Amino acid sequence: MGGTAMETGDIEIAFEAPEPVRAALQNLGRTEAVRFSPNQRRLALAGIARNSVAIVDIEIAQNGERPHVTVTDVVELTAPGLEYPHGVDFLDDDELLVVARRGPPAVLRLPPSAGASDGAEAQPLDVARDLGFELLRGPNALAITTGADGDREVLIGHRNANVITRHVLRNDDSGALTVTANEPLLRRGIAIVDSVALSPDDAWLAVSNSSHHNVHVYDRSAPLDERSEPHCILRGASYPHGVCFSPDGRHLFVSDAARPFVHLHTRRGDQWSGVHYPAASLQVMDDETFLRGRINSRFWIMRC
């Protein structure tokens, strides 16, 4: 592990939530992905253990030099056929695309924010009709960006096929979403993709490679295909899982499934290039908490 190790207390962000909301979040159990809505007022969490997606209403304010988070509500959503949800991203503030390890991607139309409540209640939702996604083999992660023409580009990482596929979503004349393009995008050197992320300016794509113990970063200004090599490789995580760019795109956060750490990588100059090791490693929970959620013994071996 490179860089500077930081203890949990050094990075703790205070948050407030009614006790029923805290209990509802605790009961969600194992989660595999989180994503903010475009307006930054909601957070989606893929609850793989409960075949559900939790939608958290939040308010973020500044308290001195640190943000202060208030969680006002949480609602747990279920849908027919939603089994083992693993990747989530917002189409807009009111619609969410979910990929699950079983079944096709699902569009969830979110209920209005309810404000303060007594916590989560499972609300079954109707899933949009089959949108026409193809080439899917164990969809595990996704990222969405919207083009100037309003089309959504959806990038999906596959656990079983070790490939990133590209899909284009468009609203037809009736306003309904449909898939108008399906194609493989990246394949070389990719194995067990647990997360994909786009930089805020859409210039860079990050892909976690759990089996290869690294993260690939690709320059999207250059043409990409199945033979493309990454422009940058991030090392230092035993089993990289979640990846997320900072708002300015100069930093990339990588969560480690094998250790209670999030690793911080910093871009050199204006480009992600070469091989990077963490500039800092942030311990986000104590070892006892980490062990309670550990489900794979090899992960703890890598911790030592």
129-304 falls under which CATH superfamily?
YVTN repeat-like/Quinoprotein amine dehydrogenase (2.130.10.10)
Residue with tokens 């989606």: 44
- Write down the H helix ranges in the chain: 8-11, 19-27, 287-293, 297-303
- pLDDT for 92 equals 92
Residue 21 has pLDDT above 50, yes or no: yes
* Res 26: pLDDT: 86
Token readout for 140 is: 């595990």
Q: How far is CA 106 from CA 29, 33, 173, 288, in A?
A: 21, 15, 21, 36
Q: What pLDDT, on a 0 to 100 scale, did the predictor assign at position 172?
A: 81
User: Given this model, what pLDDT does residue 185 score?
Assistant: 97
CA distance 6 to 280: 7
Q: What is the DSSP string of 213-237?
A: TEEEEEETTS---TTPPPSEEE---
Q: How confident is the model at residue 169 (pLDDT cuts 50, 70, 90)?
A: very high
Domain range annotation of the chain: 14-128, 129-304
Higher pLDDT, 204 or 137: 204
Q: Write down the pTM of the prediction.
A: 0.88
Asked if 37 and 58 touch (Cβ cutoff 8 Å), the reply is: no
- pLDDT-derived band at 4, boundaries 50, 70, 90: low
Distance from C-alpha of 186 to C-alpha of 184, rounded to nearest angstrom: 6
pLDDT at residue 294, rounded to an integer: 63
Q: Is the pLDDT of residue 2 over 60?
A: no
Locus of tokens 């999030």: 262
Question: SS3 for 163?
Answer: coil
pLDDT for 39-69, tens place per residue?
Answer: 999 999 999 989 999 999 999 888 777 888 9
Based on its alpha-carbon atoms, the radius of gyration of the chain, rounded to whole angstroms, reads 19
Tell me the per-residue pLDDT of 176-233, one tens digit each, with 9 for 90 and over. 888 999 999 999 999 889 999 999 999 999 999 988 999 999 999 989 999 999 999 9
Q: What is the pLDDT of residue 231?
A: 97
Strand positions, DSSP E, 147-231: 152-158, 164-171, 177-186, 196-198, 204-209, 214-219
pLDDT at position 124 is 64
Q: Are 45 and 58 in contact (CB under 8 A)?
A: no
Which pLDDT does position 3 carry in this prediction?
Answer: 59
Q: Is 136 helix (H, G, I), strand (E, B) or coil?
A: coil
Tokens coding 64: 């001195």
When comparing pLDDT for 114 and 1, which is higher?
114
pLDDT at 138 over 60: yes
Indicate whether 247 pLDDT > 70.
yes
* Mean pLDDT across 100-125: 74
pLDDT given at position 127: 67
